Amino acid sequence: MNPADDRTSRNGEESGMEVWYSSTRNGRIRIKASEAILKGLSEDGGLFVPDHIPELEKSFQELAGMSYQETAYEVMKLYLTDFTKEELENCIASAYDSKFDTEEIAPLAYADGAYFLELFHGSTIAFKDMALSILPHLMITSAKKNKVKNEIVILTATSGDTGKAALAGFAGVKGTKIIVFYPKDGVSPIQERQMVTQKEENTYVVGIRGNFDDAQTGVKKIFADKELEERMNSQGYQFSSANSINIGRLVPQIVYYVYAYARLLGKEAIAEGDKINVVVPTGNFGNILAAFYAKNMGVPIGRLICASNENKVLYDFFRTGEYDRNREFVLTSSPSMDILISSNLERLIYRIAGNDPEKTADFMKALSGEGRYGITGEMREMLGDFYGGYASEEETAETIRELQKKTGYVVDTHTAVAACVYRKYVEETKDRTLSVIASTASPFKFTRSVMNAIASAIAPAIAPADAGKYDAMTDFELVDELAALAGKEVPEAIQEIRTAPVVHDHICEKDEMRRTVEEFLGLE
Ligand X SMILES: *Cc1c(COP(=O)(O)O)cnc(C)c1O
The site for ligand X (CB under 6 A) is made up of: 126-128, 161, 244, 281-287, 336-337, 414, 440-441
Is 128 marked active-site? yes
Instruction: Report how far residue 372's alpha carbon sits from residue 390's, in angstroms, rounded to the nearest whole number.
Output: 20
39, 85, 128, 145: the catalytic one is 128
Q: Are 191 and 218 in contact (CB under 8 A)?
A: no
| Cβ closest to ligand X, residue 264 vs residue 304 | 304
Nearer to ligand X, 247 or 270 (CB): 247
Which of the 8 DSSP states describes residue 443? G
Q: How far apart are CA 223 and CA 200, in angstroms?
A: 24
The minimum distance between CB 341 and ligand X, in angstroms, equals 11
Strands of 300-405, DSSP E:
301-308, 322-324, 372-374, 386-390
Q: State which residue, 291 or 478, has the beta carbon closest to ligand X.
A: 291
Classify residue 523 as exposed, middle or buried by CB count within 10 Å of its CB (0-12, 13-18, 19+).
middle
- Helices 393-407 & 447-454 angle (0-180, nearest 10): 70
- Residue among 197 and 308 whose Cβ is closer to ligand X: 308
Maximum pairwise Cα distance, the chain? 74
Query: Shortest gap between Cβ of 285 and ligand X (angstroms)?
Result: 5
- Amino acid residing at 450: V
Judged by phi (left if over 0) then psi (alpha if -120 to 50, else beta), residue 125 lies in left
Region for residue 487 given its phi and psi (left: phi exceeds 0; alpha: psi -120 to 50; beta: otherwise): left
Rounded to a whole number of angstroms, the minimum distance from the CB of residue 415 to ligand X is 8
Of 181 and 237, the one with the shorter C-beta distance to ligand X is 181
Q: How far is the CB of 336 from ligand X (least distance, A)?
A: 3
> Among candidates 304, 287, 251, 323, which has minimal Cα distance to 36?
251
* HSE value, Cβ hemisphere, 13 Å, CA-based, for 236: 7
Distance of closest approach, residue 272 Cβ to ligand X, in angstroms: 29
- Element of type H or E holding 380: helix 377-381
Q: Supply the minimum distance, in Å, between the C-beta of residue 413 and ligand X.
A: 8
SS3 for 63? helix
Q: How far, in Å, CA of 224 to CA of 219, rounded?
A: 9
Q: For residues 241 and 215, what is the distance between their CA atoms, to the nearest angstrom?
A: 13
Q: Whose Cβ is closer to ligand X: residue 31's or residue 168's?
A: 168
Q: Which is nearer to ligand X, 64 or 157 (CB)?
A: 157
Per the CB < 8 A criterion, the answer to whether 377 and 371 are in contact is no
What is the smallest separation between the CB atom of 290 and ligand X, expressed in angstroms? Answer: 8
Catalytic residues: 128
